Amino acid sequence: MYSLRKISKQNALLKQDRRTFRTTDLAILWEINNKNTLLTTIKRYIKSNILYRIHKGLYSTMPLNKLHPYELGCALMGPLSYVSTETILQNHGVIMQNTNKITLLGKKNQEHVINNTTYLCRYLAPKYLINRTGINDQTRYATANQNRALADMEHLNSKYYFDNQQAIDQNKINQIKQSIGYK
């Protein structure tokens, strides 16, 4: 009986499109109400290499080195978070400094180092996080486009210097700022 339940929990977990889960997600997926039972099940799955611990209360069905760094960052920082600012601007050649961090915007200021990668999340008010203008929501993570990243950076730090001024279309940035509600 136990092995049957164990297999059905494992199948339910591995059939999901997602690869990262919070403790509450696992409780709902497995229909476990008892916290001790849930934590014991998670501990056993970690020991069996079915689940991998990312951070307290956050787990993956794949080893951390096989997860895309953006997926890992968005999972760490919460459901509405997205990769933006320095990471996107560096990828598009707007800034030349090597930040050595993946920068995200989310509902909390926080910084984590996981798998030798630093994830820096800056706070953005929920009313701006909900507005997905200029954000590419993919299956497992979200990234800002260049103009949204520029608008975000100007909103967070109006005195930030951009190395490649030719890559900036201020009209498009102003349109995005107006659409989002940045002042």
Structural domains of the chain in order of their starting residue, each with its CATH number: 2-66 (1.10.10.10), 69-180 (no CATH)
Residue 81 confidence (pLDDT): 98
Q: What is the DSSP letter of 66?
A: G
Residue 144 confidence (pLDDT): 98
Tell me the β-bridge partners of 117: 114
From the number of C-beta atoms within 10 Å of its C-beta (0-12, 13-18, 19+), residue 47 rates as exposed
Residue 16: partners with Cβ closer than 8 Å, 6 or more residues away: 29, 61
Q: In tens digits, what is the pLDDT along the chain, a chain of 183 residues?
A: 344 466 788 888 888 889 999 999 999 999 999 999 999 999 999 999 999 999 999 999 999 999 999 999 999 999 999 999 999 999 999 999 888 899 999 999 999 999 999 999 999 999 999 999 999 999 999 999 999 999 999 999 999 999 999 999 999 999 999 999 998
Q: Evaluate if pTM is beyond 0.85.
A: yes
